[in-house]
Amino acid sequence: MINEKPVEFIQHVLSTIILDAVQFFPQNKKKVHSEAHGLIFGIDKENSVECDYAFPVGSVMERSDVSVMPDSKVDQAVKSAKELFSTSNCIATYHSHPYDEPFEGWANPSNGDCAAADYLDLPYFLIIAIARNGKKDKPLLLQYGECDAYEFSYDQNGDGHDFPKIQTANHRVSFINGEFQKYTFTIRAYKNTGHSLIDVDLISSEAELMMILNEEDIKIENISEQDTYRLRKMEYNLREENKNRSIRNFEYHLEKIK
């Protein structure tokens, strides 16, 4: 598993998933507290599994604060229609874990997640854990985290909200942590083996762009509309497949927006 390619979110996949988690768990509407669910599309490339599109699926069988039950027929219809418009394939589902407080392992799959992961027979499975009870408003801050990888499999003796069986997978993985306004979140990626979910690296050109703007103390709201295209070019330059050959182009645009 050590040589497994990272799952890479390009374009607006990361922000779309975050916004979907927010719409079902808004910080200013405490009665709304549900899990989000959606489909992720991408292409298996040489250096990464590049995800270029996320679709939040609103039409589900049932959703609550502790579960979301997708309608596999709706998901199949969305998947087949989307594939008419682009070459990327449906490769993952995501769903949110909306909690009152962050805790260790809050983006781990539940026993129910392990049982349900295979319903569309997709190779990857993403979870965003999110809390909305920060004491005060914070600016957007994204970071990579690193931890030991685990393999999670269904425990037939437990119920859906219990822990699955957990084994260490003997490698380290990266994931995405962040905070903004009163939210804190963690997103982790898992490979679906058909009988278990194993942590894989998650990276994002959109997140890396935000990290660099933050380091350079460049505020999004101060970038002019005419310079918006530079952000798109910079995000493109930060993708795994472009990284090595486009550093100069990236730096050129960075200088221009400083």
As a whole number of Å, the end-to-end CA separation of the chain is: 41
Stretch that binds Zn ion, among 77-85, 109-117, 138-146, 177-185 (CB under 5 A): 109-117
Residue written as token pair 């003796």: 157
Q: How far is the CB of 20 from Zn ion (least distance, A)?
A: 14
Under the criterion CB under 5 A, does residue 113 sit at the interface with Zn ion? yes
Task: Give the number of other Cβ atoms within 10 Å of residue 32's Cβ.
Answer: 12
Task: Tell me how far, at minimum, the Cβ of 197 lies from Zn ion, in Å.
Answer: 10
151 binds Zn ion (CB under 5 A): no
Q: Applying CB under 5 A, which part among 16-24, 112-120, 134-142, 184-192 lies near Zn ion? A: 112-120
Candidates 47-55, 84-92, 102-110, 174-182; binding stretch for Zn ion (CB under 5 A)? 102-110
Range 214-217 contact pairs with CB under 8 angstroms and sequence separation of 24 or more:
214/140, 214/141, 214/142, 216/254, 216/258
Exposure letters 67-85 (e unless 16+ CB within 10 A, then b): bbebeeeebeebbeebeee
Q: In whole angstroms, how close is the CB of 154 to Zn ion at the nearest point?
A: 13
Residue 162, C-beta contacts closer than 8 angstroms, at least 6 positions apart:
110, 111, 155
Q: Residue 22 CB, nearest distance to Zn ion (Å)?
A: 17
C-beta of 193: minimal distance to Zn ion in Å?
17
- Residue 50 touching Zn ion (CB under 5 A): no
* Residues within the interface to Zn ion (CB under 5 A): 110, 113
